[in-house]
């Protein structure tokens, strides 16, 4: 690959500062990585290449006391954690032992277009029995996700965390935990494809372990205005939205609420939680009983620290938070599935605490506390922000849907019938969202970061943004990464029902 293909054409302020001020340190750190026990060890200090093998295959899992058949990576759920250093090259070979085609998308990572993992857009899908090697330089530290981008495969076990550690860590903390949230229906009984057919047939939901049941899909969601928002560009305090699907089970790190994972800390520890939501169709409200959280990053990009009791995290979003372990005991880390009474959970246990864990149904009282809003987030100066210059292009993006037919569109067109959105290279672009539906849509732009207009001039830098029902919201970005990039709702069923386009940077 040529230099032009590997990197965006114009350096961001962050990359420029890193090249002129941290070049030697970055090169020196190139061969240093944290080695996962799940990985195929081939990390060379000379090459700075971290090599993994991911085998996508049918797998049998035990969830909540029952055996389920699904698909996963390396026989686990989630897939193995990939953890590398900023500036290293990730070389990941995907071996497809599934009965159908697959790919991997490296969600949130700005990378060469041919490595983005979108079938029929950036690559031919990996056929059953074949393999494909993804290779790219991890230039932007942060918390990311890898997952299949074929059909509704994301709603099985085909996902995992990707952590890119900075060459020089600026946060101070004692322990770190990755928290992967998931909604689960595969094999309980039925499949994601069955769920999609039920939605298209008039609005059904997987509401228990025993199968499908009818569900009213015509409910509405209200939003409560905050000063300066009024449903226009800016922020809204979201009411709970009715979900497309009520799942029989919600998981943290592949574990159901009845069998939670435990995170052990010592009193006085400062703990970093990387909250990621690779769920197919669920927004969560996350709270840690007995503690407040300090948000430091969203979608891998740094923000000015801000405290909150509740983190609302849409599909595809990530938040890094710090917690001071100053309240000895055994506490519930609860993630309530929005629009339901169900929670996914893990347990925070202080060293020396022998008490019983809270029951699965216990909701942290903090869920009723202060919720993090986009209006509270301000990007740090070193975030990968678009330049302060005049706009070159403004693109209206109307989000529309026909819930009776279960058809979701962008600018009135389903993906299979839509033209590409053509954008010139090195342009300062604004997408003006107007959500004309009564459902929230987590909109994700591949290959680029963008700034969310939150009513300030320092809105957060993200790659996935929740656009609330009937809301107008703007995002700004720079088209400095050439190729055809998927742009879609990260509710996998909305995407499959048409809410996706290709943005072509030429």
Q: Which CATH number fits domain 393-505: 1.10.3720.10, 2.60.40.10, 2.60.40.420, 3.90.550.10?
A: 2.60.40.420
Pairing of β 441-445 and β 464-467: antiparallel
pLDDT for 204: 47
Cα–Cα dist 312/319, whole Å? 9
For residue 44, give the DSSP letter. B
* Numbers of helices and strands, H then E, in the chain: 5, 35
User: Residue 156: which of 59, 275, 253 has the closest Cα?
Assistant: 59
Pairing of β 159-165 and β 82-85: parallel
User: Residue 70: which of 62, 58, 81, 80 has the closest Cα?
Assistant: 58
Q: What is the pTM of this model?
A: 0.87
CATH code for the structural domain at 3-168: 2.60.40.420
Upper half-sphere CA count for residue 244 (Cβ side, 13 Å): 34
For residue 289, give the DSSP letter. T
Residue 245 vs residues 215, 217, 238, 316, 494: alpha-carbon distances, Å: 9, 9, 19, 17, 12
User: Is the peptide bond between 78 and the residue preceding it cis, with omega within 30 degrees of 0?
Assistant: yes
Domain map (residue ranges) of the chain: 3-168, 192-376, 393-505
Q: Which residues share a beta bridge with 436?
A: none
Centre a 10 Å sphere on the Cβ of residue 2 and count the other Cβ atoms it contains: 7
Place of tokens 């494809």: 193
pLDDT for 197: 94
pLDDT for 219: 32
Q: Residue 79: helix, strand or coil by DSSP? A: coil
Q: Residue 334: helix, strand or coil by DSSP? A: strand
Place of tokens 């071996």: 95
Upper half-sphere CA count for residue 379 (Cβ side, 13 Å): 24
Cα–Cα dist 374/450, whole Å? 13
Q: Residue 294: helix, strand or coil by DSSP? A: strand
Residue 170 vs residues 82, 173, 217, 305, 448: alpha-carbon distances, Å: 21, 10, 46, 13, 24
Contact indicator for 17, 382 with CB cutoff of 8 Å: yes
| Secondary structure of 25-39 as H, E, C letters | HHHHHCCCCCCCCCC
DSSP characters over 226-251: -TTTTTSSS-EEEPPPPPS---SEEE
pLDDT for 3: 34
Same fold for the domain at 3-168 and the one at 393-505? yes
Centre a 10 Å sphere on the Cβ of residue 340 and count the other Cβ atoms it contains: 16
Residues 6+ apart with CB under 8 A from 390: 428
Cα–Cα dist 101/78, whole Å? 20
Place of tokens 């029952």: 66
pLDDT for 19: 28
Widest distance between CA atoms in the chain: 61
> pLDDT truncated to tens, each residue of the chain (506 aa)?
333 333 444 334 343 333 223 222 222 222 222 233 233 334 334 349 999 999 999 999 999 888 999 999 999 999 999 999 999 999 999 999 999 999 999 999 999 999 999 999 999 999 999 999 999 999 999 999 999 999 999 999 999 999 999 999 999 999 999 999 999 999 998 999 999 999 999 754 444 333 433 333 333 333 333 322 333 344 456 778 789 999 999 999 999 999 999 999 999 999 999 999 999 999 999 999 999 999 999 999 999 999 999 999 999 999 999 999 999 999 999 999 999 999 999 999 999 998 999 999 999 999 999 999 999 999 999 887 777 778 999 999 999 999 889 999 999 999 999 999 999 999 999 999 999 999 999 999 999 999 999 998 899 999 999 999 999 999 999 999 999 999 999 999 999 999 999 999 99
pLDDT for 224: 36
**Residue 135 burial class via C-beta count within 10 angstroms: exposed 0-12, middle 13-18, buried 19 and up:** middle
Provide the b/e sequence for 471-505 (b: ≥16 CB within 10 Å). bbbbbbbbbbbbbbbbbbbbbbbbbbbbbbbbbbb
- Yes or no: is domain 192-376 CATH 1.20.120.530? no
pLDDT for 64: 86
Residue 194 vs residues 197, 405, 478: alpha-carbon distances, Å: 5, 16, 39
pLDDT for 203: 56
User: Residue 471: which of 434, 431, 423 has the closest Cα?
Assistant: 434
DSSP characters over 405-458: TTEEEETTB-GGGPPPEEE-TT-EEEEEEEE-SSS-EEEEETT--EEE--SSSS
Q: Which residues share a beta bridge with 71?
A: 58
User: Residue 442: which of 214, 94, 112, 107 has the closest Cα?
Assistant: 107
φ/ψ of residue 427, rounded to 5 = -110, 145
Centre a 10 Å sphere on the Cβ of residue 16 and count the other Cβ atoms it contains: 11
């Amino acid at each position: 690959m040529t230099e032009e293909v590997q990197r965006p054409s114009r350096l961001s302020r962050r990359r420029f500062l890193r090249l002129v001020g941290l070049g030697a340190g970055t090169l020196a750190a190139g061969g240093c990585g944290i080695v996962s026990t799940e990985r195929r060890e081939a990390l060379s200090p000379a090459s700075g290449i971290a090599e993994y093998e991911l085998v996508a295959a049918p797998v049998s899992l035990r969830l909540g006391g029952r055996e389920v058949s699904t698909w996963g990576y390396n026989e686990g759920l989630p897939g193995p954690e990939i953890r590398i250093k900023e500036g290293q090259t990730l070389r990941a070979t995907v071996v497809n032992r599934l009965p159908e085609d697959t790919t991997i998308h490296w969600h949130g990572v700005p990378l060469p277009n041919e490595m983005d993992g979108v079938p029929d857009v950036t690559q031919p899908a990996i056929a059953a029995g074949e393999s494909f090697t993804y290779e790219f330089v991890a230039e932007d530290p942060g918390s990311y996700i890898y997952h299949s981008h074929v059909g509704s495969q994301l709603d099985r076990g085909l996902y995992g965390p990707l952590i890119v550690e900075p060459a020089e860590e600026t946060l101070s903390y004692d322990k770190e935990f990755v928290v992967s949230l998931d909604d689960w229906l595969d094999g309980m009984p039925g499949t994601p494809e069955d769920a999609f057919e039920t939605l298209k047939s008039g609005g059904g939901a997987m509401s228990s372990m025993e199968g499908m049941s009818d569900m009213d899909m015509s409910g509405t969601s209200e939003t409560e205005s905050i000063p300066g928002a009024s449903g226009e560009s800016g922020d809204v305090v979201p009411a709970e939205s009715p979900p497309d699907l009520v799942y029989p089970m919600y998981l943290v790190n592949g574990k159901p609420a009845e069998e939670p994972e435990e995170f052990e800390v010592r009193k006085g520890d400062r703990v970093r939680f990387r909250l990621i939501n690779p769920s197919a169709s669920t927004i969560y409200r996350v709270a840690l009983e007995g503690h407040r959280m300090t948000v430091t990053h969203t979608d891998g990009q740094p923000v000015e620290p801000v405290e909150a009791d509740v983190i609302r995290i849409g599909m595809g979003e990530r938040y890094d938070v710090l917690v001071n372990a100053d309240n000895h005991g055994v506490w519930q880390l609860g993630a309530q599935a929005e629009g339901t009474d169900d929670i996914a959970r893990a347990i925070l246990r202080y060293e020396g605490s022998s008490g019983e864990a809270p029951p699965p149904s216990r909701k942290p009282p903090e869920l009723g506390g202060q919720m993090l809003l986009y209006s509270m987030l301000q990007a740090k100066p070193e975030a990968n922000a678009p330049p302060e210059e005049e706009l070159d292009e403004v693109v209206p993006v109307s989000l529309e849907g026909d819930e009776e037919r279960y058809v979701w569109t962008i600018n009135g067109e389903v993906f299979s019938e839509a033209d590409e959105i053509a954008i010139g290279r090195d342009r300062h672009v604004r997408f003006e969202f107007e959500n004309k539906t009564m459902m929230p849509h987590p909109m994700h732009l591949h290959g680029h970061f963008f700034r969310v207009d939150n009513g300030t001039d320092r809105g957060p830098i993200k790659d996935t943004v929740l656009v609330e029902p009937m809301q107008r919201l703007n995002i700004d970005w720079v088209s400095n990464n050439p190729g055809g990039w998927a742009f879609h709702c990260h509710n996998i069923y909305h995407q499959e029902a048409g809410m996706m386009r290709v943005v072509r940077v030429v």
